[in-house]
Amino acid sequence: MESVKDDNRCFACGKSNPIGLKLEFEKRGEYTVSLLNFDKNFAGWENMVHGGILSTVLDEVMVKSANNNGFTCVTAELNIRYKKPCHTGTEYELRGKVSEVTKRLILTEAEIIDKKSVVIASGSGKLFIVEQREQT
């Protein structure tokens, strides 16, 4: 697989993308976490975040989780379960973790959770390992 280069224009986290979400992530134990509050411009139906946007942020936190564990990856497979409506103008927590590492793949899990700890959407993914870095 060819190498990948970060040009800081990722729709989910790139600071140089003028229409992107500009998500910021931090590592908390085994989890990679971000806080989200979707603008009404990301709605599918009135006051409800579009499912494709939810899929995007779940994918992003899974890739960031692998990255926080020393891997550069690209998504090979993504499975999403939508459980409750996600509303615009409401804060949510996005969290992901690595569940297994094999020779070529990383298996990951992620959730979007509301203030009452209710899971709004969850996902699992298989990521291709592009590069493994030394852990510091």
Q: Which domain holds residue 96?
A: 26-132
For 44-100, the pLDDT digits (tens) are 999 999 999 999 999 999 999 999 999 999 999 999 999 999 999 999 999 999 999
**For the domain that residue 69 is a member of, what is the CATH number?**
3.10.129.10
Kindly provide the b/e burial profile for residues 117-130, where b requires at least 16 CB atoms within 10 angstroms of the residue's own CB. Answer: eeebbbbbbbbbbe
pLDDT digit string, tens, across residues 11-56: 888 898 898 889 999 999 999 999 999 999 999 999 999 999 999 9
Does a structural domain hold residue 20? no
- Predicted local distance difference test score (pLDDT) of residue 136: 55
Residue 10 lies in a domain: no
On whether residue 5 sits in a domain, the answer given is no
Predicted local distance difference test score (pLDDT) of residue 101: 97
What pTM does this model have?
A: 0.93
99: CB partners within 8 A, 6+ apart: 107, 108, 109, 124
Is residue 8 domain-resident? no
> What is the arithmetic mean of pLDDT over 108-121?
98
